[in-house]
Structures are given as C-alpha cells and as structure tokens.
Amino acid sequence: MKRINRQKKNPVVLKMQMGLMKFKRRVDFPMWHHEHISKVASIMREYADRIEAVHGSNSMRNSDKTLYAQQLIQQMNSDVGRITPTDPRERGAERLRHIDYSGLIDENGFDELNARDDMND
C-alpha cells in the first residue's frame, strides 16, 4: 500500500483559505472636523491597548492572536464609522470638476461643509 505524505498546513494559511483572515486590515478615519481629532485619538489609544494585550497573551496560539487582532481592527473600523459629525455626502455620489492646478476634484459635500457654522475659524 502506498503511503500518502500529508504535510501539516500552517494555521494562518488555513484561516486565510477559509476567509477568516486577510493579509491586511484597513481603518478609514474621518478627519474633516476638529471634533474628530480627539475622538479618533481615544479610539486608537483604546484599540492599541487591546491589540497589545492580545500580543502579550500566553493563552492563545500565534495564529489565534493574529485572527483576534484582525477582528479588533474590524471592530475599530465599525466604531470609527459611528463618529459624529458624520460625512454629509451620500454614498456613491460624485460631483467631479476639473481644475487646472489640481486636476479632477470631487466636490460632493463641499456645499454642506461651507454651510456649517461650527467650522468657521
């Protein structure tokens, strides 16, 4: 009988093949209003501490640590998405205009921001 040589797969690769993990995670921070600065800083500080605690854990395997850290980043992205004031633009809408010195600019939402009294310096 012929023996089949089965190699043990890397647990990180298995999680990626199952769609649980990706190579990268991104967070989209709003930063167009002065109130966003302190809110984003506190969220980043909170999640940095939580991710550092995951890194220092002795009860999880390394592949589980990376999976949990990615889940924390996804949760941070969700929390950042609820920061107020919210984006005045409608999702997927564009109002493109060509300006000689800047090129193509999306001006969608500029009128709403100009109408806000709390953004006048």
Domain ranges of the chain: 31-86, 89-121
At 22-77, the pLDDT tens digits run: 999 999 999 999 999 999 999 999 999 999 999 999 999 999 999 999 999 999 99
Task: Give the pTM.
Answer: 0.78
Q: What is the mean pLDDT of residues 84-112?
A: 85
Q: Phi and psi of 50, rounded to 5°?
A: -65, -40
CA dihedral (71, 76, 82, 88) positive or negative: negative
Counting beta carbons within 10 angstroms of the beta carbon of residue 26, is it exposed (0 to 12), middle (13 to 18) or buried (19 or more)?
Answer: exposed
